[in-house]
Chain A
Amino acid sequence: MPTFSRRNLFPPRLGGGAWSKPSQKAGIPERVIIPFQEAISMPCKITVHEGDRVKAGEKIGFMGNGDTCIAVHASTSGRVDQIAPMPHPLGFNALSVVIASDGKDEGVEAKPLGASGIGSNKEKMFEALREMGIPLNYPLLAKTGFAVSRLLINATEFEPPLTSGHHLIKEHGPHIIEGLKVLLSACSASQAVILIEKDRPSLIKTLKGFGSEVPAITIRGVNHPYPDTAVGYLAKKLFSKKPYRITADRRTEVMTVDLSSLFAIYNAWFWGMPLTEQLITVVGSAIPNPQNSWVKIGTPLANLVQSAGGTSSPLGQITLGGPLMGLPQSSLEVPIIKKTKGVCASVALLFDERRRSRFYKRVPCIKCAKCVDVCPVSIIPNLIADFIDNRFFSDAARRGVFLCAECGLCEYVCPSRIPLLELMKLGKVSLKGEQSLLTQSNLKLLS
């Protein structure tokens, strides 16, 4: 680090190469792997058999049951090669359908939802969105009788090198607003707040230009990006007069939606296309051509790395998501799933332990309070980590360990190299068991 340069608490925006280029369409992979489980032993039903021919956008089953049920579609045309447990990004083997692509990418006949005249019946509308495979918070919708009062859309890019969300606004701004309008009328929400960073004035202008005709849509500039996992906290902070004294039923009225779901709603409503494609940023030190590309859901990571010009020889680590919150993958056969925002591949040199100086090892906390200043949910990471290190778990819970969004910013800034995020996870697991791990529930939401 240069001695006299100014120190920033937040990571700088990287990945300028991917931001300046327009997004492109990725080629059709030889095979796609479509997982049917988002958690271990999640119920699912597969309606195709090995050897069947499927078309792109054809419904091949559904996963979940009851309120969490959501349809799964083939993302490209071809033959069902295999139905077997395959590696899932979350780290377990999920029952998956492997489709060997025929390269034609034939689609099924499109039936736009908007033309089918179901606009008056809310329940049917959400049933149709469910059939289109669009991930929304269906349990909350069912609980509130399909009437949430507020929508919160986090359009900030928390991971510094990823730009897929901003690309979606740049290239499909009006479509996102159209999708939001559909969703607003569907759940009769009175307010929709879009959060976006202030340092992207062109995107704010785009959104304001198209969203100004709807009074319910508010575009709100924020100074720093928020992680998707902190939006629950953020919703309380935005919509509640007393954010720290709020009853359970009031806060559940806020539904958080992400940008790719809004675009998928637009596609389903006006063009009848189910969610089979995802805009993904491919970046990292092992990627020569960082880019944003539309990839089929179920594309293995190996295809993504290859199409961005990378090879496997220098590859040290590949994460689904950015470098701050991304999940490292042990295999290149792992598929892209819904709500993935990007893939970050790094070269192996960065992980060489022998090159690490002794200044980069853990030393006692000097209470510099950088983690406190940077925390998006306003807890005191150094104090909580100290409690957990000494096994005072109930004190850690009183200081708000369950508020932790696991964004990793505290560990990013820590000059003492304390593994704050790992200690937070240890505290959560010790207090509530493995089910409380936010990575699990978070990725249930992400996938």
Chain B
Amino acid sequence: MDAHLIVSPPPHLKSGETAHCLMFDVLIASLPIIFASVIFFGPHTLWIMFLSVSSAVATEVLIQIVFKSPGFAFRPFFYNLLTNEDITILDGSALVTGLLLSFTLPPGSPWWIPVAGSFVAIAVGKQAFGGVGYNIFNPALVGRAFLLAAWPVETTAWTATLRWEAWICSLSLSPQSWIVDGVTTATPLALLKLQNQPTPLFQLVAGNTAGCLGETSAIAILIGASYLLYKGTITWHIPCSFIGTVIPVSLLLGKDPVFNVFAGGLLLGAFFMATDVVTSPVTKWGRIVFGVGAGMITTIIRIYGAYPEGVCYAILLMNSLTPLIDRYAARTYQPSDENLGA
């Protein structure tokens, strides 16, 4: 009995999961959010999402062709795009970044807002640090912060939810009638902060309020989040500590905790943005510290800051602390402990 046997290092068993599985899980989980945004803000939101995603993917391809793959063969273009190993669009991270960025944009944004935001998100937020896995800040939130600083008027021009029957009745063959002409209004947080006018809880949970594309419907976000938690793509530590900090801190400062949880981008930020694997700590206690810090900063910005919304900056600030948290949340060992495991 003789055989040519293969000798390879253990383990010989692999779970079969790859990095793009995690990214496409986020994509599947955001399907209810896309659906809710179309219902509440009209089909124009799909156009914004498409612009944002395609700009993100195009930016990634452009930068990788220029900097990582100078010998890229342009013919046949699509074949090489999908098979060249230096072009990493197939891992889905640019797609997810573009989609999450579009969730933080107002439904009535002009076309160049998502395009410019995705370009900055990928070019500055991700590729400038070395690509996927090396970025310090959540790229989608980098794009959002850039847009908020560069075009404050366009990125805070909120429109009220779409009245479908009126819109369908006015449809005609001319493309002018397809555009949704929303009524300008304010988000629940801004209403409370500037005019001291609360929004009914049912509207907040269902999502029938003004706000960014993806943040208004709490139900859709929770459905997507439960899928992510079920699949094990995210763990409960960051969302629970994030939301669990906002509730007591807003109670302590004399605000309505339930309103603070369901209004604004807290749920979207806690389940989809803060749990970004690359920019959050690796240890369990580190994740809890991350969530608590983000929750405190969010509440403080919301109550005392100039902006009505603070989730974006809270997560970005905690992202910058992630290496520090990782450094101190892990145990260190003395040289005398080195035979501990044997």
Q: Which residues of A contact B (CB under 8 A)?
A: 1, 3-4, 6-9, 11, 160, 229-230, 232-233, 236, 244, 248, 302, 305-306, 312-313, 315-319, 323-332, 344, 346, 348, 351, 358-361, 363-369, 372-373, 377-378, 380, 382-383, 397-400, 402-406, 408-409, 411-413, 415-417, 419, 421-422, 425, 432, 438, 441-442
- Contact yes or no, B22 A366, CB < 8 A: yes
- CB within 8 Å of A: which B282-310 residues: 282-284, 287
- Contact yes or no, B15 A229, CB < 8 A: no
CB neighbours (8 Å) of B11 from chain A are: 323-325, 408-409, 411-412, 421
Sample (26) of A-B pairs whose CB atoms are under 8 Å apart: A229-B342, A233-B340, A233-B341, A244-B331, A248-B336, A302-B1, A312-B1, A323-B11, A325-B11, A326-B12, A328-B8, A346-B12, A348-B6, A351-B6, A359-B91, A363-B88, A364-B134, A366-B278, A367-B280, A369-B282, A369-B287, A372-B282, A383-B326, A397-B335, A399-B330, A400-B331
Query: Interface digits, B216-243 against A, CB 8 Å rule (1 contact, 0 not)?
Result: 0000000000000011110100000000
B330 nearest in chain A by CB position = A380
B231 nearest in chain A by CB position = A7
CB neighbours (8 Å) of A377 from chain B are: 341
Query: Interface digits, B3-16 against A, CB 8 Å rule (1 contact, 0 not)?
Result: 10111111111111
Assess A383 versus B282: contact at CB under 8 Å? Given A232-B340, A312-B2.
yes
Instruction: Kindly identify which residue among A3, A11, A364 contacts B28, using a CB–CB cutoff of 8 Å.
Output: A3
A377 nearest in chain B by CB position = B341
Q: In the bound complex, how far is the Cα of B4 from the Cα of A313, in angstroms?
A: 9
CB neighbours (8 Å) of A305 from chain B are: 1
Shortest CB distance B187–A (Å): 33
Shortest CB distance A28–B (Å): 17
Shortest CB distance A128–B (Å): 28
A442 nearest in chain B by CB position = B342
Q: In the bound complex, how far is the Cα of B324 from the Cα of A163, in angstroms?
A: 44
Instruction: Kindly identify which residue among B1, B19, B24 contacts A363, using a CB–CB cutoff of 8 Å.
Output: B19
Q: Which residues of B contact A (CB under 8 A)?
A: 1-3, 5-22, 24, 28, 83, 85, 88, 90-91, 130-134, 230-233, 235, 277-278, 280-284, 287, 326, 330-333, 335-342
Assess A319 versus B22: contact at CB under 8 Å? Given A330-B7, A367-B282.
no
- Contact yes or no, A421 B10, CB < 8 A: yes
CB neighbours (8 Å) of B20 from chain A are: 359
- Contact yes or no, A366 B132, CB < 8 A: yes
- Contact yes or no, B22 A323, CB < 8 A: no
Q: In the bound complex, how far is the Cα of B5 from the Cα of A78, in angstroms?
A: 30
- Contact yes or no, B283 A372, CB < 8 A: yes
Q: In the bound complex, how far is the Cα of B281 from the Cα of A217, in angstroms?
A: 41
Shortest CB distance B307–A (Å): 29
A410 nearest in chain B by CB position = B11
CB neighbours (8 Å) of B277 from chain A are: 366-369
- Contact yes or no, A358 B85, CB < 8 A: yes
CB neighbours (8 Å) of B14 from chain A are: 411-412, 417
- Contact yes or no, A402 B19, CB < 8 A: no
Q: In the bound complex, how far is the Cα of B336 from the Cα of A409, in angstroms?
A: 26
- Contact yes or no, A438 B5, CB < 8 A: no
- Contact yes or no, A363 B133, CB < 8 A: yes
Shortest CB distance B6–A (Å): 5
Shortest CB distance B331–A (Å): 7
CB neighbours (8 Å) of A4 from chain B are: 231
Shortest CB distance B278–A (Å): 5
Assess A329 versus B3: contact at CB under 8 Å? Given A317-B12, A438-B342.
no
Assess A415 versus B17: contact at CB under 8 Å? Given A403-B341, A405-B341.
yes
Instruction: Kindly identify which residue among A302, A323, A402, A406 contacts B340, using a CB–CB cutoff of 8 Å.
Output: A402
Assess A328 versus B5: contact at CB under 8 Å? Given A369-B277, A400-B333.
yes
Assess A316 versus B342: contact at CB under 8 Å? Given A323-B11, A421-B11.
no
CB neighbours (8 Å) of B230 from chain A are: 6
Q: In the bound complex, how far is the Cα of B330 from the Cα of A369, in angstroms?
A: 13
Q: In the bound complex, how far is the Cα of B5 from the Cα of A315, in angstroms?
A: 7
CB neighbours (8 Å) of B134 from chain A are: 364
Shortest CB distance B268–A (Å): 20
Shortest CB distance A282–B (Å): 15
- Contact yes or no, A408 B333, CB < 8 A: no
Instruction: Kindly identify which residue among B18, B83, B336, B337 contacts A415, using a CB–CB cutoff of 8 Å.
Output: B18
Q: In the bound complex, how far is the Cα of B341 from the Cα of A305, in angstroms?
A: 34
- Can you add 13 more A-B contacts, CB < 8 Å, to A319-B10, A344-B12, A412-B13? A1-B21, A3-B28, A11-B13, A232-B341, A317-B12, A327-B10, A330-B7, A332-B3, A351-B8, A363-B19, A402-B341, A403-B333, A408-B13
Q: In the bound complex, how far is the Cα of B248 from the Cα of A186, in angstroms?
A: 59
Instruction: Kindly identify which residue among A236, A244, A330 contacts B5, using a CB–CB cutoff of 8 Å.
Output: A330
- Contact yes or no, A364 B7, CB < 8 A: no
Q: In the bound complex, how far is the Cα of B311 from the Cα of A328, in angstroms?
A: 52
- Contact yes or no, B1 A359, CB < 8 A: no
Q: In the bound complex, how far is the Cα of B282 from the Cα of A3, in angstroms?
A: 25
A233 nearest in chain B by CB position = B341
CB neighbours (8 Å) of A11 from chain B are: 13, 15
- Contact yes or no, A6 B231, CB < 8 A: yes
Shortest CB distance A104–B (Å): 25
- Contact yes or no, B338 A412, CB < 8 A: no
Instruction: Kindly identify which residue among B13, B132, B338 contacts A323, using a CB–CB cutoff of 8 Å.
Output: B13
Shortest CB distance B250–A (Å): 29
B17 nearest in chain A by CB position = A415
Instruction: Kindly identify which residue among A373, A378, A405 contacts B235, using a CB–CB cutoff of 8 Å.
Output: A373
Instruction: Kindly identify which residue among A229, A324, A330, A348 contacts B13, using a CB–CB cutoff of 8 Å.
Output: A324
CB neighbours (8 Å) of A378 from chain B are: 331
Q: In the bound complex, how far is the Cα of B226 from the Cα of A8, in angstroms?
A: 16
Q: In the bound complex, how far is the Cα of B140 from the Cα of A151, in angstroms?
A: 54
- Contact yes or no, A364 B1, CB < 8 A: no
Assess A413 versus B17: contact at CB under 8 Å? Given A316-B5, A364-B133.
yes
Shortest CB distance A91–B (Å): 9
Question: Can you list the 4 inter-chain pairs with the closest CB atoms, starting with the nearest?
Answer: A408-B11, A364-B133, A402-B338, A369-B282
Q: In the bound complex, how far is the Cα of B326 from the Cα of A319, in angstroms?
A: 37
- Contact yes or no, B282 A380, CB < 8 A: yes
Instruction: Kindly identify which residue among B16, B132, B282, B338 contacts A1, using a CB–CB cutoff of 8 Å.
Output: B16
CB neighbours (8 Å) of B83 from chain A are: 358
A441 nearest in chain B by CB position = B342
